[in-house]
Structure 1
Amino acid sequence: MSVVHIEMTFDFICPWCLIGKRNLEAAVRRLASLRPQVQVQLSWLGMQLLPEVPEQGEPFADFYVRRLGGKRALRARQAEVRAAARRAGVEIDLARIQTMPNSARAHRLFLRAAQLGSAAQSRALLDGLFRAYFQDGEDLGQAGTLRALLRRHGYDPEDFAEALAEASRYFIGRRVGLADISVPLFLVDGRPFALGAQSPEQLLAALCRTLDRQAQAQAQSAQRVSA
């Protein structure tokens, strides 16, 4: 059995990352039925997409009206997001979101949680953070919100004092090239294989092509060694 490590970059404030996560998980489930000899390890790479957002956050609608150039553009983008979310089976309630948060605290918290908890606990916390923002409209920039989420997922907030201390310092995770400016980015064994709003079918096809190229390269290398 071969083991492949699949990663996805994300920011908690990006709806395409939540949609991409769900689509990637669907693609991996389909891969398991197509190629049962491949064992997949999934992990998530945090990236702060908008470090310029103030520590206290800013009004959600105002932020996007300014960023997209007007209310009509905002309505069109939100309709696009809702349609993509429906296709992915993801619940997103944009009307409940009042604040565009600075996500540095949330990223430092999740990185620390991955060091302290089990893989299952870390996955549950990630889902909880996405749900808190996109379904419940909670402000992920506030330390109190994050402490409550930690308790809800079995962590002791006292273990996260440094991560929760301040949000003004830009969060810099692992550097992976395109991921420094783009999310979601999908990687196999550290190499990108897809970028952006990809359907499960597109992700599966790109993943299979990448695995085939890897297998071909390994076979050619083995031939050279035996020659």
Structure 2
Amino acid sequence: MHSPEPTLTVEVYFDFVCPWCLIGKRQLDAAASRLAELRPDVRLRMVWHSYPLLPDVPAGGLPYQAFYVARLGSPEAVARRRAQVLQAGQAAGVPFAFDRIAMMPNTAAAHARVAQAAAVGTEVQQRQLIDRIFMAYFNCGQDIGDASMLAQLARECGLPAEAPVPGGERAQGRHPQAKVRHLVSGVPFFVFDASLALAGAVSADTLLDAMLRALTPA
């Protein structure tokens, strides 16, 4: 009798306006590739949970530069923060083009698309959609609150262009979220087999170590 294929579930709490979440995703992708080399017997399952950082942003968005100047206190503070992100992004192979971004969007529609992808598509399609939305925003400066633009990204991933059912993003991970959401103070936040958790855009090495520890019997 064959032993069952081991499965590792990684839950990721994220928001699309968080550049550290894009860096964290790229680090997670790198860790996943290395896990596949070290443990080809393991099936890795990723579950993506929406964690909107700015849920009160109007549906039409807010002016991006003015929003961050008000939030951080001065254009100089904004420049310092962006320089920090650009440096971390370069190390992770993530290109940011903050000068192209005109609007700070409400991300509810983007998260609803991700939930729809989880319901009707494959894990690969969902990850592709997440990456495309991130890059549309941080690399191309597109408005990811725009329904027609999100529909186009969904089509490019082989997913339905029809608008998601309202509320789908809240049901996306209702059971695992209920157990650990109160522990999430920021994003990205990673949970490994409901036993280990990591906060922040940590390195691929750190993520891989957590994966291997979660796979090790207690």
Asked if these proteins are the same fold (TM beyond 0.5), I'd say yes
For the pair 1:48 / 2:52, whether they are aligned, the reply is yes
For the pair 1:195 / 2:199, whether they are aligned, the reply is yes
Report what 1:5 is aligned to.
9
Report what 1:211 is aligned to.
215
Report what 1:121 is aligned to.
125
Sequence identity of aligned pairs in percent? 42
C-alpha contact 2:89 2:96 (8 A) present in aligned 1: yes
C-alpha contact 1:185 1:192 (8 A) present in aligned 2: no
CA–CA distance in structure 1, aligned partners of residues 138 and 165 of structure 2: 26
CA–CA distance in structure 1, aligned partners of residues 125 and 23 of structure 2: 21
TM-score normalized by the length of structure 2: 0.85
User: Structure 1 residues 150, 72: CA separation in 2 closer, same or farther (over 3 Å shift)?
Assistant: same
TM-score normalized by the length of structure 1: 0.82
Q: 2:62 aligns with which of 58, 62, 66?
A: 58
State the number of aligned residues.
207
The amino acid of 2:8's aligned partner reads V
C-alpha contact 2:196 2:210 (8 A) present in aligned 1: no
Report what 1:132 is aligned to.
136
For the pair 1:105 / 2:101, whether they are aligned, the reply is no
User: Structure 1 residues 206, 105: CA separation in 2 closer, same or farther (over 3 Å shift)?
Assistant: same
Q: Which structure 2 residue ranges, 5 or more long, are not aligned?
A: none
Q: Which structure 1 residue ranges, 5 or more long, are not aligned?
A: 164-168, 217-227
- Counterparts of 1:3-42 in structure 2, within 5 Å, are 3-42=7-46
Report deviation, 1:82. Answer: 0.7
C-alpha contact 2:112 2:164 (8 A) present in aligned 1: no
Greater shift after overlay, 27-36 or 105-114? 27-36
Report what 2:74 is aligned to.
70
| Structure with greater helix percent | 1
For the pair 1:94 / 2:91, whether they are aligned, the reply is no
RMSD between aligned residues: 2.1
Q: Secondary structure of 1:157's partner?
A: coil
For the pair 1:141 / 2:135, whether they are aligned, the reply is no
Report what 2:189 is aligned to.
185
